[in-house]
Chains A and B, each alone.
Chain A
Amino acid sequence: MSQTSLASPPARRTLRRARTGVLAGLLAAAACAVGALAAAAPPTAPAAATPSTTPPATPAPLATAPATPPAAATEGVADTRGLDQQIQGLKKDVVDLNKDLFVLEEELLFPANTQVAVFLSMDVGDFFSLDSVQLKIDQKEVINYLYTPREVDALLKGGVQRLYVGNLKVGPHELVAFFNGKGPSDRAYKRGASLRFEKGVGAKYLELKIDDQQKKLQPEFQIKDWE
């Protein structure tokens, strides 16, 4: 079976470029809005600031000067606060839009009818220290992932990693996973696991599970079909 390639690199690049363009436009608009708001704000704050920087020539204004600046300063602070809130609102909008675009990109690149995703989880890990995982679908290597101690720690704490996402035609397929690492007695350890599965019209989710077999004092590698 040949693997379909709907998510071709040029398409992905075009999408990313479009996404970056939209985000850049939004940020520019936000910057313009902030600039316009700053320009529209009444110049009370600078007026209030000037008396403090330039000392008055006569002692008489000294008595009257403190009466006006606090009110002006309060207005200035309120304006700044309002501006900050508007900036935060715009930032939130940008983040939300980015999230929506990401979901849209995923749906476009990996449509549900061809999508296949492989996840990896690890439990206990007393008998196996993970170093790398090589994944083959229909005898074609799709990923060879190297793990750092931080990533292994995250997996041992219950994290589930999306190792691979791609597109496959409807029909029978074979997944082979090779696990490399250190096994019992700190020796190099390599094991494989395979699964024949049927890709239907919906998205396919598979899980590679590394577990400890306490009875045999050996690690166990399974591939689980989530249906």
Chain B
Amino acid sequence: MSWQRPHGPTRRDVSRTGVLLRLCAALAALGAALSAPAQPSYALMGQPAPDFALHAAAGDNVRLSEHRGEVVVLSFWSSRCNSCRTQLAALNRSFQTYRSAGLEIYGIGVDDDPAQSREFARSAAVSFAMLLDPAKGVSRSYEVDNLPMTLLIDRNGLIRRVLRDYSAANETLYLQELRALLNE
């Protein structure tokens, strides 16, 4: 009788390998989840967009509820935010393309000083209205936690998408979502 281990894997070896493989897979999944950018949930998603009326940097006052039936994009910005200017330029391009399809875009400045916001709005040279929210009542009601922050509101007045920060990938996603909402 020999006590030597037989050739080939035993049942115990197979089960050990299986456990190790499962552990590796779980670790890989955990790593992927941790490396992916965390997208915080947005409490107002799918909810009716809170109504507001704001002064524009130039031109007439704007009330959101008057634009029911149109796809509305709200972009919160500040003059101290670097990527806001780039994003506003990108929004301006989409506004010129899709305006005739029923798109309205409003930039909402959250600077404390309205004069500073006006100056930034003038220098941004966008075709859509730039609104001023120095009291931050509107940004509070929309729970703005990042700048720039862009919200897509559908024709029924429901918040359908929120995009935090600005990147090329975000812009592609924004355009896809925008087209889908305009086609609804």
Contact = CB atoms under 8 A, between A and B. Distances in A.
Interface of A: 131-132, 145-151
A146 B64 CA distance: 12
SS class, residues of chain B in contact with chain A: strand
A150 B53 CA distance: 12
Nearest to B62: A148
B116 interface: no
A156 B63 CA distance: 18
A132 to B, nearest CB: 8
B60 A148 contact: yes
A150 B66 contact: yes
Contacts of B54: 146
21 contacts: A131-B61, A132-B61, A145-B53, A146-B53, A146-B54, A146-B55, A146-B61, A146-B63, A147-B53, A147-B61, A148-B53, A148-B60, A148-B61, A148-B62, A148-B63, A148-B66, A149-B60, A149-B61, A150-B63, A150-B66, A151-B63
Nearest to B60: A149
Contacts, number: 21
Q: Which 3 A-B pairs have the closest CB atoms?
A: A146-B53, A148-B63, A148-B61
A110 B87 CA distance: 47
Contacts of B63: 146, 148, 150-151
Nearest to B53: A146
A132 B60 CA distance: 12
A133 B100 CA distance: 34
B171 to A, nearest CB: 31
A149 B54 CA distance: 12
Given A146-B61, A148-B62, 17 more contacts: A131-B61, A132-B61, A145-B53, A146-B54, A146-B55, A147-B53, A147-B61, A148-B53, A148-B60, A148-B61, A148-B63, A148-B66, A149-B60, A149-B61, A150-B63, A150-B66, A151-B63
Contacts of B66: 148, 150
Max count, chain A CB within 10 A of own CB: residue among B53, B62, B66: B53
A147 B60 CA distance: 9
A150 B62 CA distance: 10
A185 to B, nearest CB: 19
Contacts of A148: 53, 60-63, 66
Interface in B44-66: 53-55, 60-63, 66
A148 to B, nearest CB: 5
A145 B63 CA distance: 11
A80 B63 CA distance: 42
Nearest to A151: B63
Interface in B123-172: none
A130 B181 CA distance: 35
A64 to B, nearest CB: 48
Residue from B55, B61, B63, B66 whose CB has the most chain A CB atoms within 10 Å: B61
A147 B61 CA distance: 7
A100 B12 CA distance: 75
A201 B66 CA distance: 38
A179 to B, nearest CB: 15
